[in-house]
Amino acid sequence: MHMKWLPLAFALVLLTGSCSAQQAGSVNIYQMNPSNYEILLLSEKNNEESEKEYIDAILELKLKYPEQLSDISLTQKGNNTQDFPDISQYPALIIQQNGKTIASIKGKRSKQDILKILQENISY
């Protein structure tokens, strides 16, 4: 009787193991440093098209404030997601000031939503 449950238990273990959080190495982390801020953009390596709205919002912000954001550039920081245990949905944008996260936005969002978060949390 107990042997009937063995295949089901084995399948359950396999399924829950394959549904774990995003594995390190499959995420790109980009960094920008305007003024006293650090802006991080995390995106899946195999789904970089999803970050388009995020990058468009950053570029629009740079066009809107060219003097204040003249030194802003997007550079790849790495792919160590262990520094961001709360992020499980990509793409994600994290705004930090003095090492503290002051805002974040995750998942598929419109350029306007992303731009609004950036404008509300970064002072020029």
Q: What is the residue-averaged pLDDT of the chain?
A: 77
Give domain status of residue 45, yes or no: yes
38: CB partners within 8 A, 6+ apart: 31, 32, 95, 96, 97
Q: Range with the lowest mean pLDDT among 20-24, 82-86, 88-92, 113-117?
A: 20-24
Edge-to-edge strands, sheet with 92-97: 75-78, 27-32, 37-44, 92-97, 100-106
Residue-wise pLDDT for 57-99, tens only, equals 988 988 888 887 776 776 777 776 777 778 888 899 999 998 8
Average pLDDT over every residue of 97-123: 93
Question: How many distinct structural domains can be found in the chain?
Answer: 1
Q: Provide the domain limits for residue 99.
A: 24-121
The CATH number given to whatever domain includes residue 33 is: 3.40.30
Give domain status of residue 6, yes or no: no
